[in-house]
Amino acid sequence: MTARALIVDVDGTLAETEDLHRRAFNRAFKEAGIGWVWSRELYVCLLQVTGGKERIRAYAEETATANIDAPALHLRKTEFYSGFMAPGALHLRPGVERLIRKARYDGLELAIATTTSRANIVSLFAATMGADTLRWFGSIRSGEDVQRKKPDPEVFQRVLEDLDVPAADCIVFEDSENGLRAAKALALPTVVMPSIYTVDHDFSDADLVVRTIDEPFSMHELMPDRSVSEILDKMRGLLFRQFA
């Protein structure tokens, strides 16, 4: 059985964007006169809360910081992030562009299911493959389109409705436990590529775990109890055929 649709997350999956987000948060905090500095170690924990505004609110509550305007602060953070995202400032993870182009060439529907903002999606594509390539995607659903963010499956449900494709005929690419849980709530076949911030997450429910798209055989290290023959046919065709 071949796949009919490719659904991708954005931050951490398409590119290692999370540290750029962290820097943008810290710049916004400094400008606002808030004495917060999110270190890499702290940000690993904060990423358990999906959504930037939600992350700000959660940290304000945790630190008992009053008078935090999370929407305004997050808007300014997004502006800083977009400013950081100049062409060449960041690269897509190995194999991502090839995968997207191959899926399009093979006639698969393309979709994005993410908790980040639409502005951040545009910024990333403008700095990498080009903003015009977003026209290739039949569905782009962001955190602005849902009431409940991952691990709730709402964003994936909206994408499936847009594409009118059964979950079983899709392949999802994710980098986080929350993303995997959201996808699996709808029985979506899911490939996980852990990012620098999610390497310690629990990916035991994933259909396939690899370091990058260009390293499919890294599954032997990351999933030692599984063999290539046990991987879904649609995933083998998309990821392993290049090495046949």
**Residue 205 is among the residues annotated as catalytic for this protein:** no
**In the numeric block, which tokens belong to residue 86?**
């100049």
Query: What is d(CA 16, CA 38) in angstroms, rounded to the nearest whole number?
Result: 17
Q: Which of 11, 169, 175, 207 is catalytic?
A: 11
**Residue 9 is among the residues annotated as catalytic for this protein:** yes
Query: What is d(CA 163, CA 140) in angstroms, rounded to the nearest whole number?
Result: 10
Short-list 120, 122, 183, 115, CA closest to 153: 183
* Bond preceding residue 189 cis, omega within 30 of 0: no
Torsion of CA 112, 117, 121, 126, to 10 degrees: 160
Burial of 203 (0-12, 13-18, 19+ CB in 10 A): buried
| DSSP strands (E only) in the chain | 5-8, 109-113, 139-141, 170-174, 190-192, 208-209
**In the numeric block, which tokens belong to residue 64?**
């008992």
Q: Which of 9, 169, 175, 207 is catalytic?
A: 9
Catalytic residue list = 9, 11
